[in-house]
Amino acid sequence: PYGFAADFFTRAEVDSLPEAPEQARWRSVAEIWSLKESALKAVRLGLGADTRSVQVGARGAPEAGWSQAELELQLPSAP
């Protein structure tokens, strides 16, 4: 998962990936990616934007079923 994360995540997000079995790392990667994708789509930038322009954090082991996350979003300045 580190190759994918290095391409699309901020340094802090990559550093937050757990030193754990591979399945746990992939779970964190999936959570971070989902949060990034949702945030970029919510502000109508979509995945055409640099995904490293948004930083999110994984919360650890997910609970069963649906869950929600709160985001504080700082958008890059318009050119």
Name the domain count of the chain: 1
Q: Is residue 64 part of a domain?
A: no
Give a three-class secondary structure readout of 19-69.
Answer: CCCHHHHHHHHHHHHHHHHHHHHHCCCHHHCCHHHCCCCCCCCCCCCCCCC
Q: Is residue 57 part of a domain?
A: no
Instruction: Answer for the pair 57, 16: CB distance below 8 angstroms, yes or no.
Output: yes
> What would the pLDDT profile of 60-69 be if each residue is shown by its tens digit?
555 667 766 6
Q: Is residue 65 part of a domain?
A: no
**Domain assignment of residue 11, given as a range:** 2-48
Q: Is residue 33 part of a domain?
A: yes
d(CA 23, CA 41): 27
Q: Is residue 41 part of a domain?
A: yes
- Quick one: pLDDT at residue 74? 64
Residue 58 — very low, low, confident or very high, per pLDDT cuts 50/70/90? Answer: low
Q: Is residue 9 part of a domain?
A: yes
Q: Is residue 8 part of a domain?
A: yes
- Quick one: pLDDT at residue 7? 94
